[in-house]
Chain A
Amino acid sequence: MSLVKVTIDNIEVETEPGTTILQAARKIGGKGVPPAMCFYTSLEGSGGKCRTCLVKVTRGSDKDPRPMPKLVPSCRTVVQDGMVVQNITSPEVLQARRAITGFLLLNHPLDCPICDQAGECYLQDLSYDHGLAETQTIEERRTFVPIDIGDKIKLHMTRCILCYRCVMVADQLTGQRVHGVLNRGDHCEISTFITRAIDNDFSGNMIDVCPVGALTDRTFRFSSRVWLTKPFDAYRDCHKCSGKTVLWMKNDQILRVTGRKDKYGELESFICNDCRFEQKNVEDWVIEGPRIIERHSVISQNHYEQM
């Protein structure tokens, strides 16, 4: 199959047909990659919702060179041969992204000082990169009471940006569907239907796919700021999953176990709840070595040389 050529922010790249603009931009890498708060490669049907990845298509393709009338979600728009895209070179895109960041923060509690996700939060990064320095709102924020969904996962709905990733994990990865979105608009709630606990072997992955601090690990809660722990690649023989994880350690204690994420927050493979929640002794694992975190977030500020 012949490759298609697409130009993003003046950089040309060749990709497989059927690739999205976002994937093509990730192939180029660097600053020109649109932020993606809801898209998740391995979750079918994800993306298109948060609108942070909007880009401008100034030329549709060689066949139909007309520009697209509106900004398009790069995560769900497939590249065409000869397409020209503007991301950070378009003031219009940056302006929209700033507005979208404002929308996402409008009802967000901004409780980073007491949030376990702080330091590895995509909303924090987005606000840092694209947000306004001052708030435009004096309105009261909508709030929800935190609830436990299952005995290992905490839901802070106030922090949720409704990316739907966790719903898709529950839907696509786990057998039984007990978790979805209730209500409408800004009263939407991620919820287990009638507070039924989520109880299956892979539910913990909902924590890993959550871009913000809405779903957190109850076995880790409040035990440390993430950037004070040191990540190590480790594995164990597991008959349920690949057993390949990251251990987040303080001294020789394992504070939390997660899957292995790339710089876009996407997991190499989903891991089982056994590995994630139950194996907190160093003897349970074979440690491969320190994990380098490629993200530009606070979390990458660990200094291995000081260990």
Chain B
Amino acid sequence: MGKKLLLQHINEPGIQTFEVYRKMGGYASVEKALKTMKPDDVTEEVKKSGLRGRGGAGFPAGMKWSFIDKKSEKPRYLVCNADESEPGTFKDRYLMEKIPHALIEGMITSSYALGAKTSYIYIRGEYMYIVRILEKAIEEAYANGFLGKNILGTDYSLELYVHPGAGAYICGEETALLESLEGKRGNPRLKPPFPAIAGLYACPTVVNNVETIAAVVPIINNGGDEYAKIGIGKSTGTKLISASGHINKPGVYEIELGLPVEEFIYSEEYCGGIWKGRKLKAVVAGGSSVPILPTNLILTTAKGEPRLMTYESLSDGGFATGTMLGSGGFIVMDETASIVENLYTFARFYHHESCGQCSPCREGTGWMEKILHRIEEGRGSMKDIDLLADIAKHIEGNTICPLGDAAAWPVSSAIRHFRQEFEDHIKLQRCPLSR
């Protein structure tokens, strides 16, 4: 059994309540941090832990915290990114729904480290029922003296708010999120300046994913060094994986980073193998935005080494033969899945979600969707394949925010690894696989 740091007590009856959560050792990190550590010591532990952002980009959390402008006279903010809208990703939902106090505890300890006096949880509007769960948890934390004025009798005070978005994937991009939180249209900002210098209301701000913030709890409780012992190299600790698709046991799993991909897919502890005794065809390993890989390249790297669930191993070989850990949305496709059909679904999503600020993404996402629709319906031409690849290439890297890249990568990787399937669609003038 892999070690569990986040979901350890998930099956404890009543763990949603403050009382049971506290009984299971909850809020110890707040006590430890506020009573025995200086804010910078907390940051130092997070640095030592090697924790990397769990929202997709994998940026070292401690380093991000140390960029925050502490010389500024302005207030500082911690904003939790609970917008979770990437297709294939549903781990934050699971954590917040099942064990909401883990996030609240992480928010308090992290806010203390950053010197934030007001913090926000920005959550996607579709998670309305979780808003209620979190608000109840926050209420309990206030009632028990873990939020509000003079927490645990110290001179540290913190106000915590939950703010629901209005249902936009783009508001998960951190600067669009901040715009939205300020009550404006959720358009991403041009960077620099980065949020650590000018974020919410132009004040120094850190934006972190739900899972990143929750991971601060075991890091402070057990020490950064202890956390760093789990995992391999620069991929330390545990990671929540949202497993979906053609597997026997879809769901959210907490894995130790470094687990072989093959074991994750086939072992009974995790996905339990491909359903209906079918064969594996392809995997999207880190949420819809990352490059799709065929069976041979997801199980082993191009060098023939076993592929591991780490940031480094998954991206081994670059985009030519590798992919990314991303947000940990692990989508498995069996031999009956149509790559073109799935890609068309993704393309529709990105077209629908582009904010429309910059021309390559605004126009390119719709264009790719139309071409993919045409190919899937058997009305494509051979020229379309290169045109698609060309559009993706010209969106990539040329946009304001990474949504453009996220729309382009699935397309270019699908053509790279499954070109034959596109050609079959065009020759047969129909999808050879869809029912």
Contacts and interface: CB of A to CB of B under 8 A. Distances in A.
Tell whether A and B belong to one assembly.
yes
Interface in B335-391: 351-360, 362-367, 370-371, 387, 390
B363 A106 contact: yes
Most chain B beta-carbon contacts within 10 A, residue among A137, A142, A186: A186
B399 interface: yes
Contacts, number: 90
B398 A49 contact: no
Contacts of B366: 106-107, 142, 185-186
Most chain B beta-carbon contacts within 10 A, residue among A52, A103, A142, A161: A103
A126 to B, nearest CB: 11
A71 B397 contact: yes
Contact of B367 (A139, A161, A183, A184): A139
A54 B398 contact: yes
A103 B370 contact: no
Contacts of B365: 185-186
A186 B351 contact: yes
A100 interface: yes
Contact of A188 (B168, B356, B360, B398): B356
Nearest to B350: A185
B185 interface: yes
A139 B370 contact: yes
Contacts of A106: 363, 366-367
Most chain A beta-carbon contacts within 10 A, residue among B362, B365, B394, B400: B362
Interface in A68-97: 70-71, 73, 76, 95-96
B359 A161 contact: yes
B355 A184 contact: yes
A118 to B, nearest CB: 21
A54 B352 CA distance: 26
A136 B387 contact: yes
A105 to B, nearest CB: 9
Contact of B362 (A54, A139, A162): A162
Contacts of B353: 184-185
Contacts of B398: 51, 54, 70-71, 96, 99-100
A103 B360 contact: yes
A100 B360 contact: yes
A299 to B, nearest CB: 24
A110 to B, nearest CB: 14
A151 B370 CA distance: 37
B363 A104 contact: yes
Interface of B is mostly: helix
Most chain B beta-carbon contacts within 10 A, residue among A71, A96, A142: A96
B128 interface: no
A187 B369 CA distance: 14
Contacts of A49: 357-359, 400
B355 A51 contact: no
Contact of B363 (A54, A70, A73, A186): A186
A51 B363 CA distance: 12
B190 interface: yes
A185 B394 contact: no
A51 B399 contact: yes
Most chain B beta-carbon contacts within 10 A, residue among A51, A142, A185, A188: A185
A76 B354 contact: no
Contacts of A71: 397-398
B399 A186 contact: no
Nearest to A185: B354
Contacts of A136: 387
B359 A100 contact: yes
Contacts of B390: 99
A68 to B, nearest CB: 11
A170 to B, nearest CB: 14
Given A48-B400, A185-B354, A137 B362 contact: no
Interface in A103-155: 103-104, 106-107, 136-137, 139, 142
Contact of A50 (B354, B359, B371, B394): B359
A181 interface: yes
Nearest to B190: A48
Nearest to A48: B190
A180 interface: yes
Interface in A12-51: 48-51
Contacts of A184: 168, 170, 352-356
Interface string B389-418: 010001001111000000000000000000
A70 B190 CA distance: 14
A185 B400 contact: no
A102 B354 CA distance: 18
B188 to A, nearest CB: 10
A100 B363 CA distance: 9
Nearest to A108: B363
Contact of B354 (A99, A164, A186): A186
A50 B358 contact: yes
Nearest to A182: B185
A136 B371 CA distance: 11
Contacts of A137: 367
Nearest to B370: A139
Closest 7 CB pairs of A and B: A99-B394, A185-B354, A188-B356, A103-B363, A48-B190, A185-B356, A106-B363
22 contacts: A48-B190, A48-B358, A48-B400, A49-B359, A50-B359, A51-B359, A51-B398, A54-B398, A99-B360, A99-B398, A103-B394, A104-B359, A106-B366, A136-B387, A139-B371, A142-B366, A161-B359, A162-B362, A184-B168, A184-B353, A185-B356, A188-B362
Interface of A: 48-52, 54, 70-71, 73, 76, 95-96, 99-100, 102-104, 106-107, 136-137, 139, 142, 161-162, 164, 180-181, 183-188
Given A100-B359, A184-B168, A185-B352, 18 more contacts: A51-B358, A52-B359, A95-B394, A96-B398, A99-B394, A100-B394, A104-B363, A106-B363, A106-B367, A107-B363, A162-B359, A164-B357, A181-B185, A181-B356, A183-B356, A184-B354, A185-B351, A186-B356
